[in-house]
Amino acid sequence: MQEYDGHDTILIGDVDCTAEGKEICSTVGVKGYPTIKHGDISNLEDYKGGRDLDALKTFASTLKPSCSPANLDLCEEDEKAEIEKLLELSNKDLKAKISEGDQALKAAEEHFSAEVQKLQDTYQRLTTEKDEKVAEIEGLGLKMYKAVLAHKKKTASSKDEL
């Protein structure tokens, strides 16, 4: 934080979401700790990169102001037109669109979780089946066959040495 103190385009802050920062964390969507956010202060995004100092410095070096309602001069014409169109919507309409998007994200996450659970169930079933088969095969004497063969090889080689 000290290294970037006073930087023109980078602000690094630390918020304790369990104390005085609860409201801020709720506003920007912090759901777990530690969370690193980046981007326009009015629409922060989750950072998904490495957490070591070198990875963070590399990422920070790529940061720059980007197209947003607060920085229309940085937008391409099509982005600017889209933002201007959205600015004309009522707060109620914007909230409805956000709600639709949030619901779609939630549905995608629920679908993912359900499919992962199916995979975990399949993995568990296959692991159990494999373990049972291994126990059955070993119960038929496989370990003893291997032990006898190893013993015979060892005793045969020692006879050969004589």
Q: What are 1-28's pLDDT values in tens digits?
A: 788 788 776 778 888 888 888 888 888 8
Residue at 140: amino acid letter: L
Asked if residue 160 and residue 96 are part of one domain, the reply reads yes
Asked if residue 97 and residue 60 are part of one domain, the reply reads no
Q: What are 104-117's pLDDT values in tens digits?
A: 999 999 999 999 99
Asked if residue 99 and residue 60 are part of one domain, the reply reads no
Mean pLDDT within 39-66: 84
pLDDT at 41 over 90: no
Whether cis (ω within 30° of 0) applies to the bond prior to 65 is no
Q: In the prediction, which pLDDT does 113 show?
A: 95
Q: In b/e form, how buried is each residue of 118-151, taking b as 16+ CB within 10 angstroms?
A: eeeeeeeeeeeeeeeeeeeeeeeeeeeeeeeeee
Q: Domain count of the chain?
A: 2
Asked if residue 102 and residue 40 are part of one domain, the reply reads no
> Whole domain around residue 106: which residue ranges?
89-162
**Domain contains 72:** no
**Domain contains 113:** yes
